[in-house]
Amino acid sequence: MMSIFMELTPLQLTFYFAALLAIVASLKVVTGKNTVHALLYLVVSLLAVAVCFYLMGAPFAAGLEVIVYAGAILVLFVFAIMMFGLGQDETLHAPSVNGRVDGSKVNKFNLWFGPFLLALLLLTELVYAINSGEIQAKLTSNTIDAKQVGILLYGPYLLAVEIASFLLLAGLIGGYHFAKPEGVGLDRKKDIGEHG
């Protein structure tokens, strides 16, 4: 085992290390008690995955991961938590009696055992499926750069892009509507009614 390990090139080693980091960070996200800490762990995980992407020969994807995923989506998370005070339960919370959102009881064994078992089963299954598939493919050193991705995006996947924009529009409108506080639209209606 150690000999295989020694045969790896530094870049491969980096890949495995980044993968390990991603896994550990994800575990900390899932078992975290503090919301903001968990978010930051998530950011770490995403960054580690970006490293993996780069080492897999997909620099464009790595860049997107950092900029869009970690840089926009998770920042949105952080903004929402900060602005609407969504994370407060976890930090100040004392153990509650009827088991409502309870930060301190997060690490109970009973809580984790069943899901852990299920996840383990699923994982075993997946790994087995992957291994038995005899995938011989190995990644080569060729990178697939942004230009190639762009050609595809503007070519065969044009419609997909348009549909993705629809999705974003829907998300935008939905987000605006749902996040609206109560009573905001009513004044407008009253205005319209008065004026005619």
Partner 1 sequence: MNDTMIPLMTETVLAFLPFYPLISFLLLIGFGKCLSWRVAASLSIGAMVLSALSSLFVVTQLSVDVPVITSHLWTWFSLSLTEGANQTTASININFYLDGLSAVMISVVSGIGLLIHVFAAAYMKEDENFSRFMAYMNLFIVAMLILVLADNLVLLYLGWEGVGLCSFLLIGFWYQEKENVLAARKAFIVTRVGDTAMAIGLFMLFKELGQLTIVDITQSAQTLWITGDDKAYWIALLLLGGAVGKSAQLPLQTWLPDAMAGPTPVSALIHAATMVTAGVYLIARMNGIFLLAPEVMNYVAWLGAATLLLAGVAALAQSDIKRVLAYSTMSQIGYMMLSLGAGAFSAGVFHLMTHAFFKALLFLTAGAIILALHHQQNLFKMGGLLKRLPFETALFAVGLVCLMALPGSSGFFSKEAIIAQLWSSNTAGPLLWYCAIFGALLTSIYSCRLFFLAFMGESRFEQNLQPSSSKLLKISLIALAALSLVGGMFANIIDMSLTQVFPLVARSTKSEPNWLHTIAIATPFVGIIFSWFYFSSYRSKGSAGLNQNNFSESTSGIANFCRQGLGFDCLYHWLLVKPYCSLAKLNRRDIFDQLIMLNAWYVVLCHDVLKSGQTGKLRWYAAAIGLVTFLLLLVLSVGALSTEAS
Partner 2 sequence: MIAIPLSHILILASILFVIGFIGVITRKNTLFILMSLEVMLNAVGVAFIGAGSAWQQADGQVMFILILTLAAAEVALGLALLIQMQHRFKSLDIDLLSKLKG
Residues that bind partner 1 (CB under 8 A): 114-115, 118-119, 121-122, 125-126, 128-129, 132
Assess 71 for contact with partner 2 (CB under 8 A): no
Closest to partner 2 by CB, 148 or 190: 148
d(CA 34, CA 37) in angstroms, rounded, equals 5
Give Cα 170 to chain centroid, integer Å: 20
Closest to partner 2 by CB, 110 or 195: 110
Question: Quick one: what does residue 132 bind among partner 1, partner 2, none, with the CB cut-off 5 to 8 Å set by partner type?
Answer: partner 1
d(CA 41, CA 62) in angstroms, rounded, equals 18
Structure tokens at 98: 């009827």
- The letter for the amino acid at 109 is F
Assess 174 for contact with partner 2 (CB under 8 A): yes
d(CA 19, CA 53) in angstroms, rounded, equals 10
d(CA 169, CA 165) in angstroms, rounded, equals 6
d(CA 19, CA 24) in angstroms, rounded, equals 9
Give Cα 141 to chain centroid, integer Å: 27
Least spacing, CB of residue 43 vs partner 1, in Å: 24
Closest to partner 2 by CB, 123 or 191: 123
Subset of 127-166 contacting partner 2 (CB under 8 A): 127, 130-131, 133, 135, 137-142, 144, 148-149, 151-153, 157, 160, 164
- Give me the 17-56 binding string for partner 2, x by CB under 8 A, dash otherwise: --x--xx--xx-xx-x--x--xx--x--xx--x--xx-xx
Closest to partner 1 by CB, 65 or 90: 90
**Judged by CB under 8 A, how many residues of this single chain contact partner 2?**
91
Assess 86 for contact with partner 2 (CB under 8 A): yes
Closest to partner 2 by CB, 67 or 191: 67
CA distances from 155 to 57, 61, 64, 92 (A): 22, 18, 20, 52
Assess 13 for contact with partner 2 (CB under 8 A): no
39, 76 Cβ separation under 8 angstroms: no
Assess 11 for contact with partner 2 (CB under 8 A): yes
146, 61 Cβ separation under 8 angstroms: no
